[in-house]
Amino acid sequence: MIGLGPRLGRLLRSRKLAFWLIVVLSIWSLLGTLFPQGGRSPAGFQSKLADIPELVSLADAIGLDKAFSAPLFLAAVGLLFLSTIVCAWDRTRLAIRDWRSHGRVTPAAAERVIARSAFSIPVRIDAEAARVLEDVALGFEAVGLGAKRGEVLVEGSVAPWRLLASPVFHWSLVVLMALFAIGGLTRFEGLIGVPVGTSLPDVPESYRTSEAGPLFSGHTGLSIAVDDLVVGFREGGVNRGPAPTVTVSGDRGVLASQRVYPNHPLRHGPIMVHMEDYGLAFDMVLADSDGTEVVRELFLVDFDEAQPSGTVPTAVALERADGKGNLSATVELWPTTAERTSSEIRLKVSDEDSRTLVDARPVEGERTRVPGSGVSLAVENVRLYARLGLVNDWTVAPIYVAFAVMVVAVSAALLMPYRVARAKISGEGQDRELHVWVRRSADEAVFVQRVQEAVSRSLAGRAASDEEGAKHGS
Amino acid sequence: MVLEIVLMWSGVTLYALGSVLFGAGAAFGRQALLRLAMVISLAGLAPHSVAIALRWIRVDHGPYLGFYEVVSSYAWFTVVVLALIAWRVPKLSSLGALLMPVSFLMLAAAMFTPKSGMEITGTLASYWLTIHVTLAKLSYAGFIASFVLAVAYLIRDKGWARGALAEVLEKLPSQEILDDLSFRFAALGFILLGSMIVAGAIWANEAWGRYWAWDPIETWSLISWLVYAGYLHARLTLGWRGAKSAWFAALALPVVLFALIGVPLAYNSIHGVYLLGY
């Protein structure tokens, strides 16, 4: 165990580790796209691979059917996360160190200007050292460096805040990875069907399907109401599709209310309500022989173009009052308009031997007696319902902020790197040489060329004006 | 629509002429021909631009939907990028011998595909569409430029060029400069691709309620970004330069191209709409 910490630190600090983790994650992600994920049907050419059983078995065995939650993938991401933290920490320390020494040239650094110069230019025998260094300073300024003039050395540099760009970028990656992980653990996402004119509470029972992370903090209990629904809502000349007006309410009253459609979700705190689709809803009312309403139940009906009616038939189980077995009822709604806002009703009731007892086309609200059961059925209140997606994820807003920071930081790090150049003259008399040192960077060849051209132009300009001056003087 | 078609074919014709002139100028080392080629190519850009603008007004959205619009816009961007490169680094104008034929072939291919306009639906009706697509196109331009410079580096480094091609390559800047420029364009592409992914994630959240779902094209965009992250890492922290770096830049582009063109064709992805239509 002794030495495990330092060894782990060295491993996480390794630049090769980060590189190979990126390679592994790229290859694993590529393999993951070859197979349908999370039980989805094969898409496109995935179908061809799905026909090879040996390949499918192998993929399932190594976790490629759930590639992005597989242990191998999560382990690689976890290791990359730790490696990025160490990298960000190291870069931060180096950036602070370099910032502290910004604008100060140590004797060793001054020696390096000559020993490790990027280029050298012979100095004219009649040129004063001070004027040469001034020309170099002007050359530095011409390439965007702020020049600091000294007696024997000139330094050009950019603002030291640029040192922070790379550390900030890496820290933003750390924050993003953490937020993605935390979001996955605390996020809730569900589909809720709310008929027009009604509301449902944000509780588990309200959702048709839902997925909650293991650390989800729990439902809010807020009321989600659909006030109206416009099929084919148009705004800005664009058909936005079905768009309900959704109202979120709590103990203090209305908290948020707006029309909801793609790219226009309703937000309240960490909750976001977006529009998925719409369908039909009706109340099935069961009354006894006296006509007293015994049961009223809400049913949601989805559209299905494969059905002759265009909607999914709704099955209802009934008990016979005489105790002679059960009855099954089927309600089919047949939309009569293009927008499906009104429908004809077909009601069929069969006994346990599949004998048809009722096959009627009642109007809305009309009671239909079921022979032998002592009950009557009615379909009431046919209206539209909105299938809403509700997401409860507090990490979305911080993720947006981290995205913005990441983009700005990486842009600064790559496009505006920290640059320093220093110049010094060596030798005496006709052996004098101007040496220019440039801090190493990923694209130093291009930058060194720009500095060399700028300094040479500046020196040549001085030489030309000196010659002009000499001609006029003579 | 007729005017739009006429203008497009004018652009195709001028791009073809520009390609021939670039080829001749590069082959015979004639600067005058190269300059004429650039003028002709920019002249082709004029009717091409007007045609794109007319269509934009007619269909009420930019060149984002369907093979015809998307490929036409990439051809447009290629010519603009060539013009910018030639303006900033005149020595690189002979790259037109490579880029103009690509642009010509792209626009010509687009002209033989269906041209009916696609309506913007609710999901696409967002300013994020413009942001996302623009960032995508700019990033691909950066990667293509990086690729071309890397290939030029490798051809010269390995001595694969003969005759006229060798003479053309001799006129390009030094190997070190080519290497650094390839890195710079890849870095620019990396930033823009990252921004594109961010814009796409935010848009997906607004439209569908989730910022990431490992959709094939989302995954391939991330793979592309990781590949170039690996390239930058190799250069910035492992010190890869020269031929190593050039090979990486050259081999990275096919990943991006597959993400752009291959994925919509290979998968039934919701993102395939932008290339294949509804």
pLDDT band with cut points at 50, 70 and 90 for residue A249:
very high
What residue in A sits closest to B236 (Cα-Cα)? A442
Please name the residues between 142 and 161 in chain B that touch chain A, using a CB distance below 8 Å: none
Mutate which: B57, B221, B233, B240, vs A, most A CBs within 10 A? B233
- Identity of the residue in A23, A46, A443 whose CB atom sits nearest the CB atom of B180: A443
What is residue B272's predicted lDDT score, i.e. its pLDDT?
Answer: 65
Q: Does A143 touch chain B (CB under 8 A)?
A: no
* pLDDT for residue A324 is more than 70: no
Q: Does A363 touch chain B (CB under 8 A)?
A: no
Q: Does B262 touch chain A (CB under 8 A)?
A: no
* pLDDT for residue A474 is more than 60: no
Task: Calculate how close chain A gets to B21, using CA atoms only, in Å.
Answer: 30
Contact A406 B203 (CB under 8 A): no
What residue in A sits closest to B183 (Cα-Cα)? A443
Q: Does A69 touch chain B (CB under 8 A)?
A: no
* pLDDT for residue A1 is more than 60: no
**What pTM was estimated for this model as a whole?**
0.87
Contact A26 B223 (CB under 8 A): yes
What residue in A sits closest to B178 (Cα-Cα)? A446
Give dist(CA B169, CA B177) in Å, integer: 13
Q: Among A34-43, A193-202, B122-131, B235-244, which is the least confidently predicted range?
A: A34-43
* pLDDT for residue A326 is more than 80: no
Contact A263 B206 (CB under 8 A): yes
Which alpha helices (H) appear in chain B, and where do they start and end?
2-28, 31-59, 66-88, 96-111, 127-158, 163-170, 175-208, 216-236, 242-257, 263-266, 273-276
Contact A238 B226 (CB under 8 A): no
Q: Of B247, B174, B254, B186, give the one whose Cα is nearest residue A442.
A: B186
Q: Among A136-140, A383-387, B18-22, B97-101, which is the least confidently predicted range?
A: B97-101
What residue in A sits closest to B174 (Cα-Cα)? A445
Q: pLDDT tens, A283-306?
A: 999 888 888 888 888 999 999 989
Mutate which: B139, B184, B198, vs A, most A CBs within 10 A? B198
Given phi > 0 = left and psi -120 to 50 = alpha, else beta, which region is A387? Answer: beta
Q: Which residues of A touch B206 (CB under 8 A)?
A: 262-265
Cβ neighbour number for residue A424 with a 10 Å cutoff: 24
Q: Does A406 touch chain B (CB under 8 A)?
A: yes
Counts of helices then strands in chain A (DSSP H, E): 10, 22
Q: pLDDT tens, A70-82?
A: 999 999 999 999 9
Tell me the two tokens of residue A441. Answer: 């960077």
Q: What is the DSSP string of A25-61?
A: HHHHHHHHTTS--TTPPP-TTHHHHHT-HHHHHHHHH
- Identity of the residue in A15, A410, A442 whose CB atom sits nearest the CB atom of B194: A410
* pLDDT for residue B132 is more than 90: yes
- Identity of the residue in B190, B206, B266 whose CB atom sits nearest the CB atom of A44: B266
Give dist(CA A339, CA A233) in Å, integer: 11
pLDDT band with cut points at 50, 70 and 90 for residue A234:
very high
Task: Calculate how close chain A gets to B253, using CA atoms only, in Å.
Answer: 14
Task: Calculate how close chain B gets to A33, using CA atoms only, in Å.
Answer: 6
Give dist(CA A386, CA A365) in Å, integer: 22
Mean pLDDT of A384-394: 96
Identify the bridge partners of residue A331 per DSSP, sorted by sequence position: A314, A347
Q: pLDDT tens, B140-154?
A: 888 988 998 999 999
Cβ neighbour number for residue B100 with a 10 Å cutoff: 28
Tell me the two tokens of residue A274. Answer: 């977006």
Q: pLDDT tens, B8-43?
A: 999 999 999 999 999 888 777 788 888 899 999 999
When comparing pLDDT for A85 and A339, which is higher?
A85
Q: Does A242 touch chain B (CB under 8 A)?
A: no
Task: Calculate how close chain A gets to B69, using CA atoms only, in Å.
Answer: 20
Angstrom CA distances, B39 to B20, B32, B33, B44, stand at 13, 11, 10, 9
E strand or H helix at A347: strand A343-350
Q: Does A33 touch chain B (CB under 8 A)?
A: yes
Pairing between β-strand A271-287 and β-strand A375-392 as defined by DSSP bridges:
antiparallel
How many beta-carbon pairs under 8 angstroms link A with B?
A: 139
Mean pLDDT of A156-162: 95
* pLDDT for residue A90 is more than 60: yes
Task: Calculate how close chain A gets to B17, using CA atoms only, in Å.
Answer: 34
Q: Of A69, A63, A77, A65, give the one whose Cα is nearest residue A25.
A: A77
Mean pLDDT of B230-253: 93
Q: Among A31-35, A85-89, A369-373, which is the least confidently predicted range?
A: A369-373
Q: Does B121 touch chain A (CB under 8 A)?
A: yes
Please name the residues between 158 and 197 in chain B that touch chain A, using a CB distance below 8 Å: 174, 176-177, 179-181, 183-184, 187-188, 190-191, 194-195
Q: pLDDT tens, B165-217?
A: 777 788 788 899 899 989 999 999 999 999 999 999 999 999 989 999 898 88
Mean pLDDT of B96-120: 86
What is residue A322's predicted lDDT score, i.e. its pLDDT?
Answer: 62
CB neighbours of A394 closer than 8 A, spacing ≥ 6? A186, A269, A270
* pLDDT for residue A10 is more than 70: yes
Tell me the two tokens of residue B198. Answer: 């961010």
Mean pLDDT of A369-383: 88
What is residue A340's predicted lDDT score, i.e. its pLDDT?
Answer: 81
Are residues B224 and B249 in contact, defined by beta-carbon separation less than 8 angstroms? Answer: no
pLDDT band with cut points at 50, 70 and 90 for residue B260:
confident
* pLDDT for residue A373 is more than 90: no
What is residue A392's predicted lDDT score, i.e. its pLDDT?
Answer: 96
Are residues B83 and B35 in contact, defined by beta-carbon separation less than 8 angstroms? Answer: no
What is residue A301's predicted lDDT score, i.e. its pLDDT?
Answer: 93
Contact A263 B174 (CB under 8 A): no
Task: Calculate how close chain B gets to A37, using CA atoms only, in Å.
Answer: 8
Mean pLDDT of A459-465: 84
Task: Calculate how close chain A gets to B10, using CA atoms only, in Å.
Answer: 32
- Rg of chain A, C-alpha, whole Å: 37
What residue in B sits closest to A274 (Cα-Cα)? B209
Contact B227 A26 (CB under 8 A): yes
- Identity of the residue in B187, B203, B214 whose CB atom sits nearest the CB atom of A68: B214
Q: What strands lie across the sheet with A356-360, from one edge to the other?
A: A314-319, A326-335, A343-350, A356-360
Please name the residues between 25 and 64 in chain B that touch chain A, using a CB distance below 8 Å: 60
Average pLDDT, chain A: 90
Contact B122 A25 (CB under 8 A): no
- Identity of the residue in A400, A414, A415 whose CB atom sits nearest the CB atom of B202: A400
- ipTM score assigned to the predicted complex: 0.87
Q: Among A119-128, A196-205, A219-228, A249-258, which is the least confidently predicted range?
A: A119-128
Q: pLDDT tens, A336-372?
A: 887 787 889 999 988 878 888 899 999 999 999 988 7
Q: pLDDT tens, A397-435?
A: 999 999 999 999 999 999 999 999 999 999 888 888 999
